[in-house]
Amino acid sequence: MSTRTAPTGDTAARPAANRTIGGRRRNRWFAQVGWRHLVAVLAVLFSLFPIVFVLSAALNPLGTLSTSELVPTGGVSLGNFSGLFERTAFERWFLNSLLIAGVASFASVFLSALAAYAFSRMRFRGRRVGLLSLLLIQMFPQFLAIVAIYLIFGTITDLWPSIGFNTPWGLLLLYLGGALGVNTWLMKGFFDTLPRELDESATMDGASHAQVFFRIMLPLVAPILAVAGLLAFIGTINEFLMANVFLTDSDSKTLAVGMYGLLQGNERNNNFGIFAAGTLLTAIPTVLVFQLLQRYIVSGLTAGAVKG
Which pLDDT value is given to residue 175?
A: 85
pTM of the shown model:
0.78
Contact 52/69 with Cβ under 8 angstroms? no
Which pLDDT value is given to residue 308?
A: 41
Task: Residue count of the chain, please give it.
Answer: 308
Q: Residue 238 class from Cβ within 10 Å (0-12 exposed, 13-18 middle, 19+ buried)?
A: middle
Which pLDDT value is given to residue 298?
A: 66
* 214 conformational bin, left if phi > 0, alpha if psi -120 to 50, beta if neither: alpha
Which pLDDT value is given to residue 216?
A: 85
Mean pLDDT by 10 residues, the chain (308 residues): 52 57 68 80 88 87 76 78 89 92 91 88 82 79 80 88 87 80 82 84 83 86 86 88 86 89 77 88 88 73 45
**What gap in Å lies between CA 121 and CA 291, rounded to an integer?**
32
Which pLDDT value is given to residue 100?
A: 92
Look at residues 76, 35, 71, 81 and name the one whose alpha carbon lies nearest to residue 59.
76
